[in-house]
Structures are given as structure tokens and as C-alpha cells.
Amino acid sequence: MSYQALYRVWRPQRFDEIVGQTIITKTLKNALITKQVSHAYLFTGPRGTGKTSAAKIFAKAVNCHYLTDGEPCNECETCVAINEGSLNDVIEIDAASNNGVEEIRDIRDKVKYAPTQADYKVYIIDEVHMLSTGAFNALLKTLEEPPANVIFILATTEPHKIPATIISRTQRYDFKRIKAVDILQRMQFILQQKTVSYDDQALKVIAKAAEGGMRDALSILDQTMSYGDGTVTYENALQVTGSVTNQLLLDYLKQVTQQQTKAALITVQAVLNEGKDAQRFIEDLTSYCQNLLLFQQDAEMVTEMELGIIDDDFKQLSEKIAAEKIYQMIDELNDVANSMRYTTHPDVYLEVLTVKLTHLQPNNTVETTPVNDSQLAQQVTDLQQQISDLQQQLAKVQSAPITTAKVAPQTKSKPRVAGNKGPTVSLKQVYPVLDHATRKDLEQQQSVWTDLMNMLSVTQRAVMHVSKPVAASDSGVIVAFDYSFLFQKAQSDQELVDALENGLDRLLGVSLKVVFVPDSEWPQIRKDYLANHKAPATQTGTPKTDKSQPSDEMTPKEEPIVAKAKDLFGMDVLEIKND
């Protein structure tokens, strides 16, 4: 295979070619110039930040006889052999597949021998955190008393898994995530050298998607070039990374802040229909909200961080949306991102998220409007009058004689949704359904529920995604909602009720009444119904005496209320306790 990936062809061969790690490369070069080379180094940091490349360059530089300003010449016999991987004195080991004690003992035995061609024998152990405990113990002895002509370079992405005894015997260098600006400049240089046409916006998308890893950036760039038949365009970069355009993110945020639920749901469907990754969409939204928040505090910082992708629409949105609302949106996005990791139906979460974002309420904030002096004076007068009236009422209460009266025992209030406002549960509609409810009717509703949801519109389906039938009879069905605010929205949406009842009529050929309840209130409703609607005991004749069968006194009889509960809800939701 003649073709090589970009990250292999353009792998750094000098310290100056390592991007974004200036402090580390300068320190290593100074150590080489001043001949202060340590016997063991530990390179840590995220993937694709240059750890292994720096280790190979250091192995060349420490053995190069034509060192210039700490940089290897890459032309002498030793440098060429290391570049080709043919020098026996530079040994690269993958600890993920060679993590046993025997492999490390083999190294410990061979380090005693002097190098055959180079001045130093260099061992590069990649992903060293994968070594077993026994292997670490075997390596520790060598690091304690290393031969004079041996250098160990340990590389890892998870330094917390390395024993402290190993770390304390090395010089540690922490490689940082590479800035998007540095990744962008490196990709521009490579494409110019390859004379490949590219779109600046496309490279900015790739630089952001790489998340600080140069190798990831070059891999995405390679894939984009293949997808675009040798060219790098903005549309191709979006397709390869799974990202969406900034304009689409802007439109979506405008829709949710203006409470345009239907339009926002259509936007979500468009994103999913284009094959975009739902998790990536959430990440892009979170990043966009973060930029809006930071832009309100420091516009220059965001402009630099986002590689100049700041337009007039972005600035206008940052001026209109309050910081408090951005905080709430980021919290909701974070919750959904955590939940979506374990689901195979991300569209459900995106649609529910959209409905929640369009119905966000301010947290203990009071909107104020500017008032003039006369209005302010009138408000003060009104408040003073209210205080005077309250003081008079308090004086009357304090002067009135104290009387005692027996207080009747309070009865449990009827179930209602949380909060003093909003629709309540209509027990007059719930109880008639429960009077004739059967398990068979409920199972019939559950069997057609998916088909019923597919008959709804996008907006209606988003509301009903978190609901389920919990009881049914030949005259109606009771539907419970996981979220109270969606129960309230459905309760006040007559079009939704009509759509559900018409859909059931078409699917089952029966006209049924649909009743909504919040899922949090359903257990109490069920309990109150069973307590207030006990089934009458059935009349039974005196059984004949049969010595082979236990007498009535020996056989426990099932309570009528238990039988009624079984018939209504089935045994899977019942818990029977004896008094």
C-alpha cells in the first residue's frame, strides 16, 4: 500500500516541528545542549499531543553527533536509521501488549549490555500505565540503578495509574492539549505543501472537533480530503465531523428563547434526518451557550478562541439573552448529555429537551421596568398604606379574646399536581374509567400505543413521549406523564386530546375517553380509589364437608378489595400487606 496517512507522513522530525509544546521542547533542547541528560523521563498528556514523537526525536538528538542548537541533523547514519526504525539501540515497546513480568525482566537483563551502534540505548515504553504490578516492580529495580548508557522514556495518557515510586525516579513532562489556533496553522501549512485547495471555515471546524489532538485533526483532515475527492470544503468537514452549522445552532437557540416550540422541534428533526450525531449536537449547543456567556464578559477572548467565527447574529443574540437563562440551558444540556450515553433513542431526549428549553422559567428573578419619580412616589405611598392597614389588623387580632375549639380531624386532600396553579387531576373523569377497568383493556391499549404515537404530529409526539397508559376500560384510558409540566401542557391542549381519541377510534374501532394524570400522583389516586370503592363481598353457600379438603376456617380467603385491585392493575404493580 503506497499511500500513508497524513499524521504518519507529517510526523515531527525535529523539536521545532512539535506543535503547541514550546516549554517542553525548549527544556529538552537545553538539557541536550548542556549535557544534562537524565536516565529516565515520563511524558504524560492527552492523545495526539506529541509524546511519542518527542521521545523519538529525543532518542535521535541524544545519539546525533552533529547536534545543532539541540536539534538532530536527520542526515547522519544514526538519525536516518532511527527514522527508518532499523537502529537496534532504540527500542520502542507497546506496554498494552507487552505488560507482563517476563517482558520487563527481559529488558532488565538486556540493559546490562552496551549499545552496538549508538552512544545510548533508549527504551521508549508507550502506554506504560498498562503494565502489571509485577512488571512495575521489575522495572523499578532498573530505574533505581540504571547503567550509564541507558535512557528510559515512559509515555502515558493516564499517569494516575503509575505507581508513585516509578514517577519519583523520572523527570515528568506534562503535554497539554494543543490550541485550536496552532492546529489550524499546522493544517494550513500541510495543505499548502501538498497544494490542496481548502476552505478556511472547514479547517476551523476540524480544529475544533480535534479537541486539542494534532493526530486527531490530521486524521479528520485525511478523511475530509477523501470524502471531497482531494478538496477540503466546509460542507464536507461538517459531514465528516458530524457537526452542524453555526447558523443552525443560532436558529435553534433563537427558537427556544422565543418559545417557538414547533419550529425548534422541526429544526431538531432536520438535524436528525441529515444523519448528524445527537451527542455531537448537544456538545455543539453547550459550546455555543458557553461562548455566548463568555462573550458577554470578554468579547476578545471568545473571538480568539473561536478562530474568528463570530458574526453580527451571534452578537445580537448575546445581547438579547440573559446570563441566568444561559445557566439554566447549560444545566439542561448537561443532564441530557449524561442520559444520552445509555440510550438507543436519542431523538426522544432531543425532543423532550426542546420542549423543556422553550418552557424555562426564571429562578427567583424579578423583572423590573424603569419608573419615573412620580410613579416611584405613588408606589411608596401605596406600600405605606398597605403597611398601615396590616398594622391595624394585627392590633385587632392581638386584642381579641382567645377561644379554643375542637378541630375536626383533617382528611387527606384530593391528589393534584405540584404547585398552586395549573390544571388539577379530574377525579370525576378518572373514577368512571377505574369502575370498569380491566387488565385486558390495559394490555390492548399498550399494544397499540406505539402506533398511536406515530399518528401524532411532531409537537404532539414530543409531549407524549414521556407518557404511558396505566389503566383502561371499555369506555376510557388513563395516561400518566413522567413530568408534571408536560401533564399540564397536555391537559390544556384540546387538539392533542382530540387527536388521541380519534386515533384510538381508528385503531380499535371504539370511542374512548382519554384522561391525563401525573405519574407522581397515580399511586395515591389508585390507593384512594381502592379505599373508597371496596368491592362487595360475594355471597357464597355453605360448602359441603369434605375430609379430603381443608375446611373454610383453614383456607385463607382473598379480600374482595384485593381481587378488585388484581382485576384493575394486575399483580405486577401490587404489594399486599396484612394489617
pLDDT tens, residue by residue, 11-43: 999 999 999 899 999 999 999 999 899 999 999
- What mean pLDDT is reported for the chain? 81
Region(s) of the chain under CATH 1.20.272.10: 246-357
Question: Cβ atoms within 10 A of the Cβ of 100, count?
Answer: 15
Region(s) of the chain under CATH 3.40.50.300: 6-174
Q: Tell me what pLDDT residue 538 has.
A: 41
154 pLDDT more than 90: yes
What CATH number is given for 427-532 in this structure? 3.30.300.180
Region(s) of the chain under CATH 1.10.8.60: 180-241
Counting other chains too, the contacts that 333-340 makes at CB distance below 8 Å and 24 or more residues apart are 333/282, 333/285, 333/286, 333/289, 334/286, 336/282, 337/279, 337/282, 337/283, 337/286, 340/278, 340/279, 340/282
Question: Cβ atoms within 10 A of the Cβ of 30, count?
Answer: 11
Class of domain 246-357 (CATH, top level): mainly alpha
Q: Stretch 401-407: mean pLDDT, rounded?
A: 49
Region(s) of the chain under CATH 3.30.300.180: 427-532
Q: Can you tell me whether residue 43 is helix, strand or coil?
A: strand
Q: Tell me what pLDDT residue 155 has.
A: 94
Architecture of domain 180-241: Orthogonal Bundle (1.10)
Q: Tell me what pLDDT residue 578 has.
A: 55
Residues β-bridged to residue 171: 41
Tell me the longest C-alpha to C-alpha distance in the chain.
Answer: 113
Lowest-pLDDT range of 279-283, 385-389, 406-410, 469-473: 406-410
Q: How confident is the model at residue 554 (pLDDT cuts 50, 70, 90)?
A: very low
> If we measure between CA atoms, which residue out of 317, 162, 150, 163 comes closest to residue 250?
317
Which alpha helices (H) appear in 274-342, and where do they start and end? 278-297, 299-305, 312-320, 323-339
Q: Tell me what pLDDT residue 413 has.
A: 45
Sign of the dihedral defined by the CA atoms of residues 534, 539, 542, 543, in that order: negative
Q: Can you tell me whether residue 353 is helix, strand or coil?
A: helix
What CATH number is given for 6-174 in this structure? 3.40.50.300
Percent of residues, the chain, with pLDDT higher than 70: 83
Q: Tell me what pLDDT residue 53 has.
A: 92
> In the structure, how many helices (H) and strands (E) does the chain have?
26, 8
Q: Tell me what pLDDT residue 564 has.
A: 62
101 pLDDT more than 90: no
